[in-house]
Chain A
Amino acid sequence: MNAKQCDYEAGSTGQLNSNPGSEVEHLETDGESRRSFLKKMIVASAATAVTGFPYTRAQAAENPSIKFGLLEDRSGNFAIFGINKWHGTQLALKEINEGWTLEGGVQGPGGPGVFAKVAPKPPTENIKEIVNRGGDETKDDTVWNEEDEYLVKSGENGVLGRQLELISPDPESDNSQFQSLARRLILEDKVDVIMAGFASAEREAIRPIMDQNKMLYFYNNQYEGGVADKYTFCTGAIPEQQIVPVMQYMIKNFGPKIYTLAADYNFGQLSAAWTRAMAPILSAEVIGEEFIPLSVSQFASSISRIQEAKPDWLMMYITGQNHSNYYPQADAAGVKIPMGSSINIAQGYEHRRFKAPALARFHVTASYMEEIPTPRNRKFVERWRKMFPDEPYMAMEGHSAYVATHLYAKAVRLAGTTDKETVIKALESGIGVEAPSGWVFMDPATHHLSQYIRLASCNEQHDISFVTEWPYIEPWWTRRLGVNLVRHPESKQYIPDEDPFFKMFKKKGKG
């Protein structure tokens, strides 16, 4: 890895490393301390000599690895997503163990806009005339340059002198396997952290076990939002970060009449509730809603209802292999209505798996996509594909897993220990990192990550272009419900029905 070196600043990770080697580098060499220098050299050599002996090395076991538990499906229904996330984790662990970390740390709320209106420089001549006429116009310009390189040297291999060891059995897309493997990781392997789950059901199956055992748990997947749990941190995108922006864009560009097509389970139903609630604020209207059972793969009747309703655009919340058959069927039926979504393409790369132009006119707000054209993402893609040349597509959640792993390492370094309660406090201290997608920030109150959201538009040839972006969207919804996990620890998942604002809109009859 030939990364361009950024200056390593002790302050940005907030922790001096304790590697004996680097201590030697920082020694002064003036006269008075020459004796102390000598003393230290002797001690350091002795220490190195002692630890050089295999006997003492084995005896000491001074650097047991940090056990990193991962439960992602590598077989079963969710295998394509799980393998992608597993790869992201492996890449991040390799980088950490080889001495790299994401730039960032404890900082104030980050995320300055990349583009902004720049004030012109103050005039130095003809001042009176310029001021009288009001000055030059402001113009759009880059105010903050996103750096090309997101990795910096951490100053040590591993974290706190210990390597991170990945323990990742395969839960086979089976909820009860998640449960028994979670128990195994906690009680038998005694891991220091667990990152697990693709589907919300998988997460909810193990969250009680995490809480019972006070295990630090990361859920790295886009989902319907609402988890407020002292021991859980979520790095995937949530409705206020995806649904609201895509609606803004689609309404502005295509019109106010929305028809929702949603999978008939929690994610689809709750996302549809969000759409219904947000529409009036955005001066739009949901003219029709349909909930498709997960097993359905024939959409002829839905397509005819859509054609009859003539919406301006479609809100798509369909998931799974069966539902993805909608796209070729709609295309064959000649449906040319634009589509907006928070989930397809970015997660399941339908634009690569289906023949053009099935996904034409598709728009999705993604926290990450492989096609993002920034220089730093090009580096990320290069590094990923070097480690995993056969990766079919670098999907959104692989990036979430990658970021979460680095985030955890940073928090442990900050905490100075792997003790879970302390690491949780470190994660709640206001940590942000330079992710390949952009700057992201872990919100202390909600335990959710802010996201750099881009709107991807898919054309007839299935090429992706990013037509607009929201560089920093906070996870504000559970905050509105009063969630503050720093002050009031709890363990539940909120649903929109518990939000009085959402109660104002009832679900229409099934279309």
Chain B
Amino acid sequence: MEREDKRWWQVLNGPQELGRGRVFWCLFTFAALGLLAYPFVGSVFALSNFANFCLYVPMGLGLALLWGYSGVLSFGQSAFFAIAGYVYGIISGNLLDMPGGTLLAAAGAIAASAAIAAAFGYFVFYGQVSGWIIPLLLLVLSLILETFMAQTAGYQWRVGSVLLGGYNGMTNIPSLQIGSSIFGGASIGFYYLVVSAMLITYLGLRLLVNSHYGHVVTGIRDDVERTRMLGYNVNLMQIQVFVVAAALAGLSGVLYVSWGNYINPSSMGLLPATLPVIWTAVGGRSSLLAVLLSTVTLRWLADSLAVKGGEYAFLIMGILLLVTMLFFPAGIVVTLARHWLQRKPERRDLKKNRAP
């Protein structure tokens, strides 16, 4: 049953993502409305804290696209996150008196991450670097950046009037501001900004992965040569996906510095480099929804453990990772979803015709 007029519905419910059909979208809308209504009942702190979890979702989703759908593992997302944070701090710190300066800074920050990703991608993908070397290179990039930034303590390390700050970091970074509304870390405006960014990123990527472009990207993951031989400029597409993932990480970086007004080189260190990979692996990198859920949940878990029992935090995270690797190699959310789907075969009838 072709429904030519509801093409976007088909794409939205395409096979590349979990959760399809009317029931799912009802639940999704309900959840989204709940998020949007939360400020009416939640305390200022609860909003600020929750926003702190959700602002990492664009970065996580970008890695899901890059690793889950395109097959390129990256330990460099935190580097793009922090680069955007620093560039935002530099630009906005120098444009303090200019209205809209922070918006310009945000655009510049994301563009900077994208540009560096494009340059890196050019060398790596056109140079036909073997797949397994890429995550190592990105990790090395992160660590080099961290080491470099850590020694920028002196006065000579400044751009305009903004000091890079070395290991102490860059502080007093202004929050995003539109007109007279400041999107500071404890404001309702910031909460809405983060929730919007999260939902728009999710829906946008969902449309992308189910589009023809998204399917070709999956083809690149499965068999690069085959995809080449079907007439696609694979190198260019790999760079494009890499840049999108970096830009999303940059978006998370801008949201982070708007929340905390601070960034320092440890954001590019070893642990932050592995965190997005852990979120993605635990949720299930083949599904955007799974990664969204796991990112928020693991961020919440880390926060709760710090509050309640700090010394066991690392242990618990480590055990969680181990359990996931052993018993849920496809990711916890994805595995559970598949079991759920297998028990409800009639659900398949709700899915729209996807034959070309």
Contacts and interface: CB of A to CB of B under 8 A. Distances in A.
Is the pairing of A and B real? Answer: yes
Interface of A: 74-76, 169-172, 174-177, 179-181, 183-184, 186-188, 199-201, 204-209, 212-213, 264-267, 269-270, 273, 291, 293-295, 491-493, 495, 497-498, 507
A169 B153 contact: no
A504 to B, nearest CB: 13
Given A172-B310, A208-B172, A269-B166, 13 more contacts: A169-B307, A174-B306, A176-B260, A179-B52, A183-B49, A184-B45, A201-B266, A212-B186, A266-B165, A291-B151, A294-B150, A495-B155, A497-B156
Contact of A201 (B155, B167, B308, B313): B167
Given A74-B311, A169-B307, A183-B185, A208 B261 contact: yes
Contacts of B266: 175, 201
A115 to B, nearest CB: 39
A389 B245 CA distance: 52
18 contacts: A170-B309, A175-B169, A179-B52, A183-B185, A200-B167, A204-B168, A204-B169, A205-B264, A208-B261, A209-B261, A212-B261, A264-B150, A265-B166, A266-B165, A266-B166, A293-B147, A493-B168, A495-B163
A172 B313 contact: yes
Interface string B193-228: 000000000000000000000000000000000000
A208 B311 contact: no
Nearest to B260: A179
Given A201-B168, A266-B153, A493-B168, A180 B303 contact: yes
Interface in B275-325: 302-303, 306-311, 313-314
A208 B260 contact: yes
A495 B45 contact: no
A499 B291 CA distance: 50
A265 B43 contact: no
Contact of A75 (B48, B171, B311): B311
B262 interface: yes
Interface in B13-42: none
Interface of B is mostly: helix
A495 B154 CA distance: 8
B151 A293 contact: yes
Interface in B159-196: 163, 165-169, 171-173, 184-186
A170 B166 contact: no
A184 B313 contact: no
B307 A184 contact: yes
A205 B262 contact: yes
B52 A170 contact: no
A208 B171 contact: yes
B154 A497 contact: yes
B115 interface: no
B119 interface: no
A265 B154 CA distance: 9
Contact of A188 (B43, B184, B306): B43
A269 B153 contact: yes
Nearest to A183: B48
A367 B300 CA distance: 40
Contacts of A497: 154-156
Given A169-B307, A269-B151, A269-B153, A205 B260 contact: yes
Given A201-B167, A266-B167, A266-B168, A295 B147 contact: yes
A493 B165 CA distance: 10
A293 B186 CA distance: 36
A495 B171 contact: no
A295 B163 CA distance: 24
A201 B264 contact: yes
Nearest to A212: B184
A193 B291 CA distance: 38
A156 B342 CA distance: 68
Contacts of A175: 169, 262, 264, 266-267
Contacts of B264: 175, 201, 204-205
A205 B313 contact: no
A224 B308 CA distance: 32
A176 B147 CA distance: 19
Contacts of A184: 45, 49, 307
A491 B171 CA distance: 11
B133 interface: no
B313 A498 contact: no
A205 B151 contact: no
B337 interface: no
A76 B302 CA distance: 14
Nearest to A264: B151
User: A-B pairs with the 8 shortest C-beta distances?
Assistant: A170-B310, A497-B155, A187-B45, A265-B167, A266-B153, A188-B45, A208-B261, A266-B166
A183 B306 contact: no
Contacts of B136: none
B96 interface: no
A201 B307 contact: no
Contacts of A493: 168, 171
A498 B155 contact: yes
B49 to A, nearest CB: 6
A81 to B, nearest CB: 14
A177 B306 contact: yes
B44 interface: yes
Contacts of A492: 172
A204 B306 contact: no
B104 to A, nearest CB: 21
Interface in B33-80: 43-46, 48-49, 52
Nearest to B170: A204
A216 B306 CA distance: 22
Contacts of B43: 187-188
A273 B271 CA distance: 31
A213 B261 CA distance: 13
Contacts of A213: 186
Contacts of B260: 176, 179, 205, 208-209
B129 to A, nearest CB: 25
Nearest to A506: B156
A471 to B, nearest CB: 31
A205 B310 contact: no
